[in-house]
Amino acid sequence: MVLFLQDGDRRELEKKAKEEGRLPPGQSLTLKWPVLHYGSVPTFDEAKWDFNISGQVAAPVKLSWKEFRALPQTEVTSDFHCVTRWSRLNNAWKGVLFTEVLKLVTPKPEAKHVLVLAEEGYNANIPLEDLQRSNVLFAFEHDGVPLTGEHGGPLRLIVPHLYAWKSVKWVRGFVLLDEERLGFWERNGYHAYGDPWKEQRYSEQ
């Protein structure tokens, strides 16, 4: 009975989200927060953790956890769309804007692409200008509580306007590139860009 009523609520909210143009084509609304990733949840060891910016920059930068947490913080609320067809709306993220982190390096003029790096070799490619949007951030808090390990804690990237495989969990840095280098899912059949509003789920090949 309780489940039935909750699903009624969900459907009402889903209808509203569709009417408001908040739900991309082929997506359904979830009120829960599914956990989805490849591999196992890495353990966080502050002493070993660092954040690296390299590639097409004047000089590479390495930050400790303390240094990263000392950067200016922002809160951004955004929607989250997974290619497996669920969307979660109104997520309140707290963290450091990508543009704030980028200020720490001097990108070379040819830096146009980014490969975002995570624990255990996971990565995702994103154009630099997409990461420079005002709602793209490295988050360590969600809806007022610290990110749990299974949701990407201590730190994950959030890129609301692309499918959620680009929102890299357990992020450890990024490489600026002069040409596109495909990431983990992008090499395995997912679309290189991944716009949910255009249903760019899979690559054409």
Ligand X SMILES: Nc1nc2c(c(=O)[nH]1)N[C@H]1C(S)=C(S)[C@@H](COP(=O)(O)O)O[C@H]1N2
- Note the residues at the interface with Mo ion (CB under 5 A): 82-83, 164-165
- Under the binding rule (CB under 6 A), the answer on residue 118 touching ligand X is yes
Hey, which residues does 116 pair with through a beta bridge?
124, 174
98 binds, among Mo ion, ligand X, none (CB under 5 to 8 A by kind): none
- Taking alpha carbons only, the member of 166, 137, 142 closest to residue 153 is 142
> Cα(164)–Cα(158) distance, rounded to whole angstroms?
8
Please report, for residues 79, 103, 132, 145, the alpha-carbon distance to residue 96 in angstroms, rounded to integers and kept in the order given: 18, 12, 12, 15
CA 70 to chain centroid: 21
- Work out what residue 118 binds among ligand X, Mo ion, none; the CB cut-off runs from 5 to 8 Å by kind: ligand X
* Residue bearing tokens 């997974």: 82
169 belongs to the binding site for ligand X (CB under 6 A): yes
Beta strands at 145-146 and 171-177: parallel, antiparallel or unpaired: unpaired
Query: Of these partners, ligand X, Mo ion, none, which one is at the site of residue 167 (CB under 5 to 8 Å by kind)?
Result: ligand X
Find the part of the chain contacting ligand X (CB under 6 A) among 30-38, 45-53, 91-99, 173-181. Answer: 30-38
List the one residue from 22, 37, 161, 181 that touches ligand X (CB under 6 A): 37
Which listed option, Mo ion, ligand X, none, makes contact with residue 159 (CB within 5 to 8 Å by class)? none
In 3-state terms, what secondary structure has residue 171?
Answer: strand
Residue 147 binding: pick among ligand X, Mo ion, none (C-beta 5-8 Å cut-off by kind): none
Strand 113-118, strand 171-177: pairing: antiparallel
Instruction: Please select the residue that binds ligand X; options are 98, 138, 140, 165, rule is CB under 6 A.
Output: 165
The order of strands in the sheet holding 113-118 is 61-64, 50-55, 171-177, 113-118, 123-127
Is residue 41 a contact residue for ligand X (CB under 6 A)?
A: no
Indicate which single residue of 114, 162, 168, 176 sits in contact with ligand X (rule: CB under 6 A).
168
Question: Rule CB under 6 A: which residues touch ligand X?
Answer: 33-38, 82, 118, 122, 151-152, 164-165, 167-170
